[in-house]
Amino acid sequence: MEIRVPEVGESVHEALLAKWFKKSGETVQKDEPLCELETDKITLDVHAEAGGTLSILVEEGTTIKTGSVIGEISAEPARPAPQPAPPEAAEPQREEQIRATVSSPAARREMREGGIAPDSITGTGKGGRITLEDLFSRITESSRRPQEPTEPTGDVATPSASVSTPVPETPPVPDTAPQTIISPEKEQQAAEAPVAPVAPVAPVAPVAPVAPVAPVAPVSTAPQAPVSVHTETPPPYAAGREERVAMSPIRRRIAERLLAARQQTAMLTTFNEADLSNVKKLRESFREHFRQKYGIALGYMPFFVKACIAALKEFPAVNASIDGSDIVYHHYYDIGIAIGGEKGLVVPVLRSADQMKMFEIDQTIAEFSDKIKTNRLAIADLEGGTFSISNGGVYGSMLSTPILNPPQSAVLGMHAIQDRPVVRDGQIVIRPMMYLALSYDHRIIDGREAVGFLKKVRDYIEAPEELLLEG
């Protein structure tokens, strides 16, 4: 039986085979997890569809297309994974020489792809090792080497009737080379002097049109080679004390989306604070009731989900999004809940959260957390969403500016609850306070709406009885 990379969604076309839980030749049972796959959206486990002996065909760290065969399960003894054809005898020696004499991965890659022999370059790096600059200097020097001068075939007539002389060229050009004009006073000297290359002088427009070819710029003058500074040789003080690890697909996707949120929206953040005294009292009163009836303790998140939905109904722009030149008002409330996992932050969505009871919100969030831990979260759990909530307070954050989750136009940031002195009825009292932050897209949400929305959330949190009655 073949083990294939499953289809996990229309937008996912490849996955990274992050880890095999079993070795080739080992016996596996039906439904036993075999390997872990990472896509740019989720991490998932592939389970055995039948029992038998495992044969691994694709190694860890390989990126494969969805639907690809990565292994087999059979009742027979496992067959060894196919071995790659042995390279030519000279290839290992050349590779060993490259690794021993070239200082950085980028330089080694360029040398392999260019077929350049290490012994053809004199290294200037530490211990005589070849650096990326040495390699580019070698390429530049080769491309700028002058061509052998050719015998002149006769004078070329120009409007000024002056004599042209061949000039050393950087790249070869077809047929006629660019001509250089000299003064009439030098004609006689040029005629009597032996034919030899002349020192380069300022060229003028060539007689025949010639496609311009720019010489390769030396590395010292801002090279255009696509080489990141991160591929440079580590500085001496960091030698042996750094580790380079490839970004996982999920981490790359997170980085792309966060950068896009900064670059493609007019993001702004407004702040407020809420007194959670009444929420804490209600939680204490109903916690045991919820535990016995629903099997889960009443948390803080259901209060904030319900408070946000009530405020979204009063400020519909906060629940809207931009599509091209249109504003799309969503008349439903799909609330994304940011949950941190080992692989990064994901935002599963509570569908039609306005129709969910308080205990249903808590149960669904607990299910999401369990799916993330066991790599069972599906693409469908992440799609859509009209508004998001992020709780940095679980990590101890006191104040932050949450980043938008496009195409959504707003996100609420919760933070740690801390006892602080506040003034109530002219008296200084200690209350459990939480800072709230609302980041929003100023292209669609005005400051008045953003501030009004956040104040409404605060008001519902400070007087939560109505929310509890509804939910």
DSSP per-residue string spanning 119-179? GGS---SGGGPBPHHHHHHHHHHHHTPPPPPPPP-S----TT-PPEE----SS--SSSPPP
Q: What CATH fold (topology level) applies to the domain 264-470?
A: Chloramphenicol Acetyltransferase (3.30.559)
Distance from C-alpha of 316 to C-alpha of 310, rounded to nearest angstrom: 10
Sign of CA dihedral 197, 202, 208, 213: positive
Q: How far is CA 275 from the centre of its chain?
A: 38
Are 318 and 311 within 8 A, CB to CB? yes
Phi and psi angles of residue 384, each rounded to the nearest 5 degrees, phi first: 80, -150
Tokens of 282: 């209600």
* Cα 81 to Cα 25, 58, 345, distances in angstroms: 10, 8, 36
d(CA 18, CA 75): 26
pTM passes above 0.85: no
Task: Supply 443's token pair.
Answer: 């292209």
The helix/strand/coil state of 346 is strand
pLDDT at 162: 40
Backbone angles phi, psi at 332, to 5 degrees: -150, 165
Span 2-74: which CATH code? Answer: 2.40.50.100
Q: Which of 31, 155, 370, 446 is catalytic?
A: 446
Along the 471 residues of the chain, how does pLDDT read in single tens digits?
889 888 766 557 788 888 899 898 899 998 888 888 888 667 888 888 888 999 999 998 888 888 889 999 987 554 555 565 555 545 667 677 776 676 566 667 777 767 777 777 777 776 677 776 777 677 666 555 554 444 444 444 444 444 344 444 444 444 444 444 444 454 454 445 454 444 454 554 554 554 554 444 444 444 444 444 455 677 888 878 888 888 877 788 778 888 888 888 999 999 999 999 999 999 998 888 889 999 988 999 999 999 999 999 999 999 999 999 999 999 999 999 999 887 778 899 999 999 999 999 999 999 999 998 888 888 889 888 999 999 999 999 999 999 999 999 999 999 999 999 999 999 999 999 999 999 999 999 999 999 999 999 999 999 998 876 665
Nearest to 469 by CA among 358, 370, 376: 358
Joined together, the tokens standing for residue 21 give 């839980």
One of 330, 354, 442, 459 is an active-site residue; which one?
442
Dihedral angle at the C-alpha atoms of 186, 191, 197, 198, nearest 10 degrees?
A: 0
Query: Hey, what are 353's tokens?
Result: 């959260």
Q: Tokens 């919820």 appear where?
A: 290
Please state the domain extents for the chain. Answer: 2-74, 264-470
pLDDT of residue 344: 76
Secondary structure of 53-79 in the HEC alphabet? EEEECCCCCCEEECCCEEEEEECCCCC
Host H or E run for residue 27? strand 27-28
Catalytic-residue membership of 230 = no
In this structure, what token pair is assigned to residue 2? 């073949």
Contacts (Cβ under 8 Å, ≥6 apart) of 181: 158, 160, 162, 164, 204
> Using an 8 Å Cβ cutoff, are 8 and 42 in contact?
yes
Does 442 qualify as catalytic in the annotation?
yes
User: What distance in Å separates the CA atoms of residue 351 and residue 334, rounded to the nearest whole number?
Assistant: 5
